[in-house]
Structure 1
């Protein structure tokens, strides 16, 4: 069995990084793959670089996102899914890396567990000059699906988009990624799969085979994260209650930082109360702490700040 694997890479202005990513694809010990790069209309020299790699290896293909289609990684990945001819889909971001034996090991695991439609493998996160650390939170094998679903609904991310390989037919049945999410589009897809008929299995014994590059988060990026966390909360508000999720508590606590946004604090807190995902007691304690936080004594160097924070925001 040598199924074709379609590796789908969305990219935008990553000409300084995507070459290393493509080298990790070309160096795979498993050779039966195609690599579909979907450019989100970059304005650097990404297109020229990809064309260089296409000449080097014809298994690499380039698609441009049409202007009329949704911008973002979700839309680009959907374009990749539609244009793929493989049996299985491996997503890869344009700054991440595959180990040499990644696809070979993953295909062997799929052969061992053929009845599944979503397989999870170990990923390490890294940044330049750092020692890679395991990203995944590994489940109890007797209750994988519930463990993963509860983790995502709690606002934890037990695996990332590159940790998985999908049966393409199943991805199509799920209608791919939700293009309304410019961020958190992969947790949305994972939750959608787990709530549906996702037959998931994890390679607990396997080695780390993908590497997820971490980047510094700017103030602007953090505000966008809060925006889509709130959107995620609206989408799955009923599931949060069914699974006794700590999502609202976690997000509200994360808002109290140097880039505090009262706008998203108020919206998240209000939604949590309306959907009965947070208690009235936590609501009033959070409001008290927000006033304390934005007062003249809000700087963390003041004595008692962290003590008050822990006491007030205890669930």
Structure 2
């Protein structure tokens, strides 16, 4: 859906990004990750023409964005940033409805869209529509920022470190919320972060950038198993690749048939192997009962199963 072909951006003759070649497929979450100053946010801003390419081209559905009306282009793209960018003197409902209003949607349709998005993001309309940004917690404000980015039903959602300023618990909650929502709406999402764990959790594919260039573009699993160079390996955390890979694998793919009474300690069938290993270490046990979402025992996870491949 999105193609970058030889894209560079120069500032006073110095390249912020250089020679970017990238294809992002429709409906995937593409996460751009790297250290500060590597060109992640510059790449994102090139996509909605907040800045223009110095050379190369960017195409959406085969159409060069340089030939598009910039206002229409940006209305096709939701944009969520770390500071939320909410208008402080507007209510939550008005903040969310700003793009549909620019698109000249009827008032009833805007109201229905605001209600739909607030409910989707776990913010009951009756409790939050009338509030102002100053009355929201950080996590609530970030949810409203995401709702506003989605309000015009854009094809593409651009997210620039949207959860970077939040505490770990709220951040984890919003990551889960994003994955839940994406399972329903199937947008093409380009997400920028400096946090490799966040990238591994969210991404269909990960773009690793270093000094303005793409050094690897791969699935999370292949990135862990076949890092392109020492920089990627260091970014992934030397010595922690096993734990990070375990965070990508689900318990259900490794469990064995339950025979006899279930063990006292349990893990969820959709939990990660990393969570299972943590439980084993904490409770000093070599096996866990696997339970489904209703709490029914459905399998057994011995520690040896963690070392085998899925369905081994």
Establish whether TM, by shorter chain, passes 0.5.
no
| Higher share of residues assigned helix | 1
**TM-score, structure 1 normalization:** 0.27
| Higher share of residues assigned strand | 2
**TM-score, structure 2 normalization:** 0.27
